[in-house]
Chains A and B, each alone.
Chain A
Amino acid sequence: MSKQEKHRILMVSDFFYPNFGGVENHIYYLSQCLINLGHKVVVMTHAYQNRSGVRYMTGGLKVYYVPWKPFLMQNTLPTFYGTLPIIRTILIREKISLVHGHQAFSTLCHEALMHARTMGFKVVFTDHSLYGFGDVGSIHMNKVLQFTLADVTQAICVSHTSKENTVLRSGLPPEKVFVIPNAVDTAMFKPAPERLSNREIVIVVISRLVYRKGADLLVEVIPEVCRLHPNVRFIIGGDGPKRVRLEEMREKHSLQDRVDMLGAVPHAKVQSVLITGHIFLNSSLTEAFCIAILEAASCGLLTVSTRVGGVPEVLPDDMVVLAEPDPNDMVQAITKAIQILPQIDPQEMHTRMQTLYSWHDVARRTEIVYNCALRCSSQNLLERLSRYLPCGAWAGKLFCLVMIVDFLFWRLLQLWQPDRNIEVVPDIYLANHPRDKTSRDSNIYDHLR
C-alpha cells in the first residue's frame, strides 16, 4: 500500500478565534485532527482589534491575522483584488498545496478562493449554513457563491439537506459535493457522574435568543408545558434580542420559580449547564446541522427538536423526538419525551455518541476529499473562463472579466516581485509533536544553514 502523501493546507475564513461559534470550532478541531494525521495546516483570517500578525496555537497550528479591518458582521471589506498580494505571499512562503475556504458569508474566503484559482492552486469549499432564495440579500449572496463555486475543485457540505441547498443556490454539479457532518468533542461533553432523579424534570434550552433560533416558539410552548406538567422546570441559557419577550412571558404567567434565565453562557460552561437537565429543547426555524443537539446528546440528554433543515440527519431516532415548528406539535413532542425519559441511559448515550461522531473521523474523510481534489487535472485560463460563461447572460461575462483582470494583476505582481524573491518559511516542529517516523529530527537551524 503506497504511503499517503501529506498535504499543506491553508484554511481561510473571516470566522476564527477569538470569535466564538460553530464555524470557528469546526476550523480549529478539523485543523488539529489534520495536524495529528501528519499534514501541515495554516489558518488565515482577518485581524481582531489588536490581535494582528502571526500566532501559533496548540500543535503548531499557525494563524495569520491579516490586518484588514472587518466592515460588516465580521467580514473583511471586499476589494476584489486588494488581498491578492498577501494571499500570494502566504501561499508561496508556506508552500501551500491546497486552499480550503469556509462559510459562504465570508468575503475573505471568496476572495482567497478566487486568487488561489488564478494562481493555479486546487481549492475546496465548505458551506456551513442554509440560505434562502427569496430576499435581496440572499439573491446577491447566491450570485457571489455561483461565481466562487463555478471553478471550485471540490465542495463539502455538513448535511444532505445542506448539499441540496448549496447545489440549488450555486448550480454546482452534485458529483463535486461531498457530505461530511460536523462532530462533537465527546471528551469535553460528558454526562453527569450521578444520574439525576426523575421527580422533577428539567428542560434545558441553550441558544441565541433570536428569531432564527425559534425564540418566539419558546414563548408559546413554555407556558403550555408548565400548565400540563406541574413537575417540569425550564433552564434557559443564552442572550439576544428576544430575551425581553421571554422575560415578559415569565412575568405574565408567574413562572419565575419554574423558568430560570441564565443569560449568556460561555462555551466552557455549557457542559455544566447541560448536565443539570434531562431534556434538551431546540426550537430553531432553520439549521444546516445542529451541533447543539450533538453536545446535548453527548451529555446524555434526550433531545426534542423542530424538524427543519438537516436536524433529522443528526441523531438516531431513539435519541431525538422531532416536531413541526408549531407550538402544539412541540408541546406534544415534549409530552412524549417526558414519557420515554425513564428508558434513557445517559452513559450509554454518551458511549454511542463517541462511536458515532468524532473529529478524527471528519479529518479522515476530509483527507479523502483533499486527495480527490489534488488528483483533478489543472486547467489553463481559457478552460477556466469557459466555466464562468454559463453563470448568466450578463453575470457570466462580468465574472470572466473579473478573472481576466485578476490574472493580469497576478502577472504584474510576478514581474514586480518574482516568486523566487519570496522566502519560504522553515517548518517549526514542536518537541512532542507526532511526525512522520521516516523523517529525521530537524530544527529551525538545520533549515536555515
Chain B
Amino acid sequence: MKSQIFMEFSEGRYTYINDTNKGPPDAIDIHHIIISRSSVQSYIFYVFILLSATFCFSFSVSHRCLSSLQDQSIAFLLIFSLAVCLVKSWRGKRVEKESVTILPSFGVQLETTYRSGRTVRHFVPISKILKPVLNECVTPVTCYWSLSLIIREEEELLLVFKELHPPITMLVPIWKALCAAIVSGEFTGVHSN
C-alpha cells in the first residue's frame, strides 16, 4: 500500500516541498525548491530597459544622425525590437522551480523548470556519484551555500541547483537524503556483485 510523506516550508522567496512515496517497489524521494516571483526585480528591469531605449533614441535624434522622419522611425523600430528581444531572453531565463528526484539504487534526476514552461533535465546514475557535498561558494560580492555532487572520474563538481541559491535549511534535508541514497546504493551494488 502506498503511503505519502509531504513536507513544506518557506524562507524568504524560496519554498521547499518534499514529496516521498513510500510505496512499492521503492521509496521515490522528490524535493522541490520553488522561487516566488519578484515584482520589484521585474519593474526595475523594465524601467531600466525603457530608460536605455529612450536614451539611445534621444541621443541619436539630438546628434542629428537621423534627419528625416523615415530614418527616425527605422531607428525607433530597431531600438524597440532590440528591447523586446532583451525582455524576452530575460523572461526566458527566469526560473520557477528546481527539483531533485532520488530513485533509490537507480539514480538522481535534476530538473530545472523555467517560467516560460521549458524544462531541462539531467540524470546521474547512482554508481557515478561518489558523494554529495555542501560547499561555501565565495564570489567577489557575496558568499552562499551550494549543494554539489562529486562525480567519479570527473574533475568538476556537479551543482544540484544550477540557477537558484536556496538557504542552508533547505539544502540540509536534501543532502541527508542524497547521502542515505548513496549509501544504500553502494550496499545494493555490493550484493548484486
Q: Interface of A with B (CB < 8 Å)?
A: 52-54, 64-68, 82, 85-86, 89-90, 93, 421, 423, 425, 448
**Are A85 and B142 within 8 A (Cβ)?**
yes
Q: Could you tell me the distance in whole angstroms from the C-beta of A239 to the nearest C-beta in chain B? A: 34
Q: Provide the bound-state CA to CA distance between A423 and B170, in Å.
A: 12
Residue of B nearest to A47 (CB): B138
Is B141 on the interface with A (CB-CB < 8 A)?
yes
Residue of A nearest to B173 (CB): A448
**Are B139 and A64 within 8 A (Cβ)?**
no
Q: Could you tell me the distance in whole angstroms from the C-beta of A261 to the nearest C-beta in chain B? A: 42
Residue of B nearest to A417 (CB): B142
Q: Could you tell me the distance in whole angstroms from the C-beta of A264 to the nearest C-beta in chain B? A: 32
Main secondary structure of the interface of A (DSSP, over half): mixed
Report 24 cross-chain contacts, Cβ distance below 8 Å, ordered by A residue. Answer: A53-B135, A53-B136, A53-B137, A54-B135, A54-B136, A54-B138, A54-B143, A64-B138, A64-B143, A66-B138, A67-B138, A67-B139, A82-B140, A86-B139, A86-B143, A89-B141, A89-B142, A93-B143, A421-B12, A423-B167, A423-B168, A423-B169, A425-B136, A448-B169
Q: Provide the bound-state CA to CA distance between A425 and B138, in Å.
A: 13
Is B172 on the interface with A (CB-CB < 8 A)?
yes
Is B48 on the interface with A (CB-CB < 8 A)?
no
Residue of A nearest to B145 (CB): A423
Q: If the complex has contacts A86-B142, A421-B12, A423-B145, are A448 and B136 also in contact, measured as CB distance less than 8 A?
A: no
Residue picked from B138, B142, B167, most chain A C-beta under 10 Å:
B138
Q: Could you tell me the distance in whole angstroms from the C-beta of B104 to the nearest C-beta in chain A? A: 22
Contacts of B137 in A (CB 8 A): 53
Choose among B138, B142, B168, B169 the residue that contacts A53 (Cβ–Cβ < 8 A).
B138
Q: Could you tell me the distance in whole angstroms from the C-beta of B68 to the nearest C-beta in chain A? A: 45
Residue of A nearest to B137 (CB): A53
Contacts of A82 in B (CB 8 A): 140
Q: Provide the bound-state CA to CA distance between A53 and B12, in Å.
A: 26
Q: Provide the bound-state CA to CA distance between A85 and B172, in Å.
A: 26
Residue of A nearest to B171 (CB): A448
Residue of A nearest to B172 (CB): A448
Residue of B nearest to A84 (CB): B141
**Are A89 and B143 within 8 A (Cβ)?**
yes
Q: Provide the bound-state CA to CA distance between A318 and B168, in Å.
A: 60
Return the CB mask of B159-193 against A: 1 if under 8 Å, else 0.
00000000111001000000000000000000000
Q: If the complex has contacts A54-B136, A423-B168, A448-B172, are A86 and B145 also in contact, measured as CB distance less than 8 A?
A: no
Choose among B12, B139, B142, B168 the residue that contacts A448 (Cβ–Cβ < 8 A).
B168
**Are B140 and A67 within 8 A (Cβ)?**
yes
Contacts of A64 in B (CB 8 A): 138, 143
Contacts of A93 in B (CB 8 A): 143
Q: Provide the bound-state CA to CA distance between A54 and B168, in Å.
A: 16
**Are A65 and B138 within 8 A (Cβ)?**
yes
Q: Provide the bound-state CA to CA distance between A65 and B167, in Å.
A: 22
Contacts of B12 in A (CB 8 A): 421
Q: Could you tell me the distance in whole angstroms from the C-beta of B181 to the nearest C-beta in chain A? A: 18
Contacts of A54 in B (CB 8 A): 135-136, 138, 143
Q: Which 8 A-B pairs have the closest CB atoms?
A: A85-B141, A54-B136, A448-B172, A53-B138, A89-B143, A89-B142, A67-B140, A423-B168
Q: Provide the bound-state CA to CA distance between A90 and B141, in Å.
A: 10
Contacts of A65 in B (CB 8 A): 138
Known: A86-B139, A423-B145, A448-B172. 10 other contacts (CB 8 A): A54-B135, A54-B143, A82-B140, A85-B142, A86-B140, A86-B143, A93-B143, A421-B12, A423-B168, A423-B169
Q: Provide the bound-state CA to CA distance between A448 and B138, in Å.
A: 21
Q: Could you tell me the distance in whole angstroms from the C-beta of B39 to the nearest C-beta in chain A? A: 15
Return the CB mask of B120-164 against A: 1 if under 8 Å, else 0.
000000000000000111111111010000000000000000000
Q: Provide the bound-state CA to CA distance between A89 and B136, in Å.
A: 12
Contacts of B143 in A (CB 8 A): 54, 64, 86, 89-90, 93
Contacts of B138 in A (CB 8 A): 52-54, 64-67, 86
Q: Provide the bound-state CA to CA distance between A65 and B136, in Å.
A: 11
Q: Provide the bound-state CA to CA distance between A190 and B161, in Å.
A: 53
Q: If the complex has contacts A421-B12, A423-B168, A448-B172, are A68 and B142 also in contact, measured as CB distance less than 8 A?
A: no
Q: Provide the bound-state CA to CA distance between A90 and B140, in Å.
A: 12
**Are A68 and B140 within 8 A (Cβ)?**
yes
Contacts of A67 in B (CB 8 A): 138-140
**Are A86 and B141 within 8 A (Cβ)?**
yes
Residue of B nearest to A52 (CB): B138
Q: Could you tell me the distance in whole angstroms from the C-beta of A436 to the nearest C-beta in chain B? A: 25
Q: Provide the bound-state CA to CA distance between A68 and B142, in Å.
A: 12
Contacts of A53 in B (CB 8 A): 135-138
Residue of A nearest to B168 (CB): A423
Q: Could you tell me the distance in whole angstroms from the C-beta of A422 to the nearest C-beta in chain B? A: 9
Q: Provide the bound-state CA to CA distance between A395 and B163, in Å.
A: 45
Contacts of B142 in A (CB 8 A): 85-86, 89
Q: Provide the bound-state CA to CA distance between A89 and B172, in Å.
A: 21
Among B37-88, those with CB < 8 Å from A are none
Residue of A nearest to B13 (CB): A421
Q: Provide the bound-state CA to CA distance between A86 and B138, in Å.
A: 9
Contacts of B172 in A (CB 8 A): 448
Contacts of A68 in B (CB 8 A): 140
Q: Could you tell me the distance in whole angstroms from the C-beta of B33 to the nearest C-beta in chain A? A: 15
Q: Provide the bound-state CA to CA distance between A245 and B133, in Å.
A: 54
Contacts of B135 in A (CB 8 A): 53-54
